[in-house]
Structure 1
Amino acid sequence: MLRVHFTAEDFARVRFASRPAPLQELHAALTTAVTPGGGPLTVPWRARVLRSLPAASGPLADLVPAGRPPSFLDVLGDSLADGFERIRATGPGLVRSELERVYGAVRGVPHWLRGLHEGDETAWHTLYRAQRAAYETVLAPVWSVVQDLHREEFARYALTAAEQGVAAALTGLAPAGRLHEGVWEWPGATPDRDVRLGGRGLVLLPTFHHPAGPLLQDAPGRPAVLTYPAGPGFPLAEGRAVAPAESLAAVLGRTRLDALRLLAEPHTTSSLARALHVSDATASSHAAALRAAGMVTTTRTGRSVTHLRTALGTLVAGRSACGLSGGSGSDRP
């Protein structure tokens, strides 16, 4: 069981990662790929991943003998390069101590890892090249799907926290989880572990490639990061017969979706109507429907009204906000 001990200050510092972290998602995927077992989706996915990994990604396996990765690999970062820079910024003392911990009982340490232990730039380049090769094979084909799933999970968590409070949002992440007297319990997590936040706060990061349980980073002096399994299953590119934007258009209607995209910038009713090629009355109707759903705000100045997308509207629109269709007024919401 995982037990996370909160102070009052920690509850005020719980936050949800605004974007998926490519390196964390990659490490979760590779951990799942080399771990036996899993459900009916895992076996064919694992076979495909292991079969397709290029030779250049091999050093990543060297880093994780017996499934014990060094802690300096656990970083956030909005891009692969950003994540690697955070790894590269790890103090040499921690790099050496973690490599010694991981390889303490392992014979035959690879030559490039000896270079990493000594701070050799060529060894660091070997690590980055391996991460890049693995990312391009495992995650790049489905990264847009991961981003969509992350936005959905973000919105779900945000709505639960807004309607029911942080405690309900936290316990909803863990099957049979509970929060009691400041201790958040995640049953079934291994190894049995107690983590005391001590005012550092907690960052929540969903992963869509590690269905087995939570992964917790607890670096001294930093907010703890809990990576937890989320989503309906592996984000398989070939399993998405309908593109996310098309699915959203089927729910909102093409013109209303275009209106939501346009309202990333403020528009009056008449300017929105011109951009959508519809009447002012139709544009006003679409804005009113989006406002009722909490996705748009409307402010009045004299006889003019201005519409603008809310944070919820941005979450719903996501990255599909580029490439408007120029829908016609005949579309139905």
Structure 2
Amino acid sequence: MCVIRIHFTADDLARVRFAPRPSPVPELHAALMMLSAPHEVLLFERWRSRLLRNLPSAAEPLADLAPEGRAPAFLDVLGDTPQEGFALIRASGAETVRAGIEQLYGRQPPPPWIRALHSGDAGAWRTLGRAQQAAYETVLAPVWPQVQDLHRAEFTRHAVAVAERGLAAALTILAPGSRMRDGVWEWSPPGAPGVREIRLGGRGLILRPTFHWRRGPLLQDRPDRPVALAYPAGRGLPLVPDDGSAPDDPLAGVLGRTRLALLRSLDQAHTTTGLARRVGVSNATASAHASALRAAGLITTTRTGRSVCHTRTALAELLLTGGTAGG
């Protein structure tokens, strides 16, 4: 991920909008990119293995459109329903589709059906439509009620932050570590190569939380349209169906799903606020769960000024690795 610098004009500051509801197609493609991305394999292996077991063969062509966790821009559309989103993709201009495919396969030959899609073949579009529908039913439909609930909570959190602290502060809250200075919102991950400059130029900005993609922001920057920015939000792990059935992780049966998610989120030290954000709970809930985990000897907590910082203990590492850590 490179450094991202978004330049606002005075008009843009008045045109920042938060998506009022989640869009299923962008969230689906965020999940599929996470599924195919090579990074953080251990953290997401259980989720990834479950989906790969259940994903029907009709969905397999989509892997060709997100090699190494990257997807072409023409897939990034809005729409309140899957059917509306899929129709918007189908309506993409031929030049946009060709440019997206060429960007993905500039150095290697694409699969035959991708070549056919590049030339506008109707059969290739039907293949893509069937693949998207099959993937949606398997990956996203089971967790869509959770996505809607989490989006409402994120919408409310952002609205309160804007009301209490102003827009500039609310934007930096969405992206811990980012900063707003002289009309430029900058995301600077440590060691990031290169800089991407986005100049809004009066077009405005649409903010969309995503609850599957766990890396940096996903940007859609098209001429004469508002820039759309999808940022990682929610629990910090890809969603799984919350159907009341017994958890498939034995540790969840002992610790509870929220405490286990909190413990897994401590792959690096976090404050209580940081944990609450990653797990998708209130600060008070995160603090209560941290106290229980600390009493069990699974985390340690240190105080610096008014902040506290939590880290996993060696015992927690042993539990999470199945007792294989150490000698």
Tell me if TM exceeds 0.5: yes
Q: Is 1:232 matched with 2:235?
A: yes
Query: Among 26, 41, 44, which residue is 1:42 paired with?
Result: 44
Q: Is the 8 A contact 1:65 1:103 kept in 2?
A: no
* Alpha carbons 1:37, 1:43 under 8 Å: kept: no
The one-letter amino acid paired with 1:215 is: L
Deviations 1:95-119, CA, capped at 9 Å, x for gaps: 1222222222112x32222221222
What amino acid sits opposite 1:210 in the alignment? W
Deviations 1:132-170 (A, max 9, x none): 111111111111011000000001001111221111110
Retained in 1: the 8 A contact 2:16–2:205? yes
Q: Taking every aligned residue pair, what percent have the same amino acid on both sides?
A: 58
Alignment gaps of 5+ in structure 2 = 246-327
**Structure 2 match to 1:183:** 184
1:207 aligns with 2:195: no
| RMSD, aligned CA | 2.0
Larger CA Rg, structure 1 vs 2: 1
* Alpha-carbon distance in structure 1 between the residues aligned to 2:183 and 2:125: 41
Following the alignment from structure 1 to structure 2, what is the Cα–Cα distance between the partners of residues 229 and 177?
A: 13
Does structure 1 residue 112 correspond to structure 2 residue 116? no
- TM-score, length-scaled by structure 1: 0.68
Is the Cα–Cα contact under 8 Å of residues 162 and 169 in structure 2 kept in the other structure? yes
Please list, as runs of the form range in 1=range in 2, the aligned pairs for 1:1-333 lying within 5 A after superposition. Answer: 1-38=3-40, 42-107=44-109, 109-188=110-189, 192-233=195-236, 234-238=238-242
Give per-residue Cα distances to partners, 1:213-246, cap 9 Å, x unaligned.
21111111111111001012332224767xxxxx
Residue 330 of structure 1 aligns with which residue?
A: none
Q: 2:240 is matched by which residue type in structure 1?
A: L
Work out whether residues 204 and 226 of structure 2, in 8 Å CA contact, stay in contact via their aligned partners in 1. Answer: yes
CA–CA distance in structure 2, aligned partners of residues 62 and 36 of structure 1: 15
Contact 1:21/1:78 (<8 A) preserved: yes
Task: Please tell me whether the aligned partners of residues 5 and 196 of structure 1 are also in contact (alpha carbons under 8 angstroms).
Answer: yes
- Whether the 8 Å CA contact 2:7–2:183 is kept in 1: the answer is yes
Instruction: State the AA in 1 paired with 2:182.
Output: E
In the alignment, structure 1 segments of 5+ residues that lack a partner are: 242-333
1:228-270 CA-partner distances (Å, limit 9, x unpaired)? 01012332224767xxxxxxxxxxxxxxxxxxxxxxxxxxxxx
Q: Which residue pairs with 2:280 in the alignment?
A: none
Q: Distance in 2 between matches of 1:13 and 1:68?
A: 29
Separation in 2, partners of 1:175, 1:203: 18
Q: Distance in 1 between matches of 2:44 and 2:141?
A: 19
